[in-house]
Amino acid sequence: ARIVVLISGSGSNMSAIATACASEEVDAEVVAVISNRPGVLGLDRAQEIGIVTQVVDHKDYASREEFDVHLMREIDNYEPDLVVLAGFMRILTPDFVRRYKGRMLNIHPSLLPKYKGLNTHQRALDNGDNEHGVTVHFVSEDLDGGPNVIQAVVPVTSNDTEETLRTRVQQQEHVIYPIAVKWFVEGRISMIKGDAYFDNEPM
Ligand code: GRF
């Protein structure tokens, strides 16, 4: 399977997925990494492991619609079976989401449906939660609202800071995202009419 990964930053999830693909743990290839921000660490990381990289800078486009049209064109050049959002910090237009429906995954650092949006770790701390975590989900038209595929739960300790909690969550991100990708590549997970299925059973 051919995978295009979209990033905006450090690309640690992209690396975890690319490593799993390279190790034959996952029968797929990351054929390109596209960033909407130039100069980010994730682009260097991808190049170091020999992956084609590209920048489609949202600042070069007058509107979200124009940006998305160009991004779709670039993605489609690589003919991916799966589009992976890995720290890609742009809200996507409905047309974009529809185009990759059922073949686009995102990772969000909370136990969705809790804490959609930003600052998830701080919000979990502020609310005194004793557990927190991360979710991989299919992307649907509502932001952070597509059906869940896999979650990891981590404990929150009384001396946690946003930073320590983020680190604990990110370690789990690098475990669960390659698993979700593996399941997709093996045809085990699918999204039908907005619901996720695992081995044809509703999740
Ligand atoms: C991750 O924590 C992800 O959950 C969030 O953005 C971060 C991306 O990290 N949406 P990286 O670029 O994969 O290192």
Atom number of ligand 1 nearest to Cα 41: 12
Provide the Cα torsion 125, 127, 128, 131; round to 10°. Answer: -70
Which tens digit of pLDDT belongs to each residue from 80-129? 999 999 999 999 999 999 999 999 999 999 999 999 999 999 999 999 99
Sheet holding 104-108, edge to edge: 53-55, 29-35, 2-7, 82-85, 104-108, 131-138, 148-155
Task: Write out the binding residues.
Answer: 11-13, 64, 89-92, 106
Which tens digit of pLDDT belongs to each residue from 31-76? 999 999 999 999 999 999 999 999 999 999 999 999 999 999 999 9
Average pLDDT, the chain: 97
79: left (phi over 0), alpha (psi -120 to 50) or beta: left
Q: Whose CA is nearest to atom 1 of ligand 1?
A: 87
Domain that includes residue 80, residue range? 2-202
* Residue 71 identity (one-letter amino acid): L
Domain total in the chain: 1
The ipTM is 0.95
Q: What is the CATH number of the domain that holds 81?
A: 3.40.50.170
> For residues 170 and 176, what is the distance between their CA atoms, to the nearest angstrom?
10
43 in contact with ligand 1, CB cutoff 6 A:
no
* Residue 37 identity (one-letter amino acid): R
Tell the residue number behind the tokens 């799993």, with chain if given: 20
Mutational pocket test of ligand 1: of 6, 7, 10, 13, the residue with most ligand atoms within 8 Å of the beta carbon:
13
